[in-house]
Amino acid sequence: MSTEKISGVIITLNEESSISRCVRSLISICDEVIVLDSFSSDRTEEICRNLGVKFYQKKFEGYGRQKRAAVELAQYDYILSIDADEFLSEGLVQEIGREKIKGLKSIYSLPRLTNYCDHWVRFCGWYPDRKIRLWHKEFASWNKALVHELVVPNSKEIHVNRLKNDILHYSYKSTEEHLIRIEHYTDLHARRYFDEGKKVFPFKKYLSSIWKFINVLILRLGFLDGKAGFKISWYSGLYQYRKYEKLENLIRKSSGT
C-alpha cells in the first residue's frame, strides 16, 4: 500500500456558509487540512477550528500568491487544493482513495461541475472545466496571477493524469451574487492588465462583450442550459465590458486625462 500522504489546502475569506462542507470532504481523504484565511469577519475561523483543521491567517495579496503561501504551510508533498465553495463528490473521494492505494503519480486534473442558481451547468464552456488540483510539490505549483490563477507543471514533458469524478462547485446562489462577483473580479482583472501594460483599442469593451455573449450562448451551447445558460451568457458579456471599461479608467487616470 502507498505511504504517500495528501495535504488538503483551502484559502478563505468570509466563507461560513460553505466552508464546513468543503473541509469535511477533504477530511475524508486527506491526511491534514490547511486553511489560510484572509482575516474573515464571520464564523469561518470558528467553524474551521471546530473541524480540527490547521488554521492560519495572512493578508490577501492576490489569488495566486495566497494559494502559493497556503501550499508552503503543508506538511506533505502531495497537495489537494480546492476553493471554499467547492467540495469533493463521493465518487471523487473514492477515486482518489484508489489512486493513493496504487501509488500517486505526480499530477492530476479533475473535472469540475458547477451549480448556478440551483442548475447544474453542463454547457456554456463550463463543463468539464478540468483543473489541476492534485499534484506533487516537485512537479507543479500555483502561478502568481492576481486573478484566474492556475497550477502550472514545471515542465511540458510532465504527464497530467486525468481523474473521472467531479469536484462539485456551488458558484452563485443568485444573480445578485453573480453581479457582486463580477465587480470584484473585474477590478482585479483590470488591475492585472494595467500592471502588464495592456492597451485597449476604441470599442474593445463593446465588441468583446458582444462576442463573448454569442460565443457562450451559441458556440458553447449555452442555450442547452436554458434560462441559466442565457443568464451565464449575458453576464459573461457584461464581465468583458466591465473589465475593459475599468482598464480604460485606469489608463485615463494614469495619463492624467
Task: Say which CATH number the domain at 39 has.
Answer: 3.90.550.10
pTM of the entire structure? Answer: 0.91
Q: Within this chain, do residues 133 and 182 fall inside the same structural domain, yes or no?
A: no
Domain coverage including residue 244? 174-255
Give the end of a domain, one of 171, 199, 222.
Answer: 171
Report how far residue 55's alpha carbon sits from residue 157's, in angstroms, rounded to the nearest whole number: 35
Could you tell me if 161 and 213 lie in one domain? no
Is residue 1 in some structural domain?
no
Same domain, 146 and 209: no
How far apart CA 145 and CA 181 sit, in angstroms, is 17
Residues 39, 125 within the same domain = yes
84 and 129 co-located in one domain: yes
* Domain boundary residue, one of 122, 145, 171: 171
Could you tell me if 151 and 201 lie in one domain? no
Cell of 199: 492597451
pLDDT at residue 227 in the model: 97
CB-neighbour burial class of residue 219 (10 A; exposed 0-12, middle 13-18, buried 19+): exposed
**Is residue 70 located within the same domain as residue 167?**
yes
Question: Mean pLDDT of residues grouped by 10 in the chain (257 residues)?
Answer: 84 97 97 98 98 98 97 98 98 97 96 97 97 97 94 95 98 94 96 94 95 98 98 98 97 86
Domain shared by 46 and 29, yes or no? yes
Number of domains the chain is built from: 2
Strands in 119-121's sheet, in edge-to-edge order, are 86-88, 167-172, 112-116, 119-121
**112 and 61, same domain (yes or no):** yes
Last residue of a domain, one of 145, 171, 197: 171
* pLDDT of the residue at 257: 66
Helix (H, G, I), strand (E, B) or coil at 196: coil
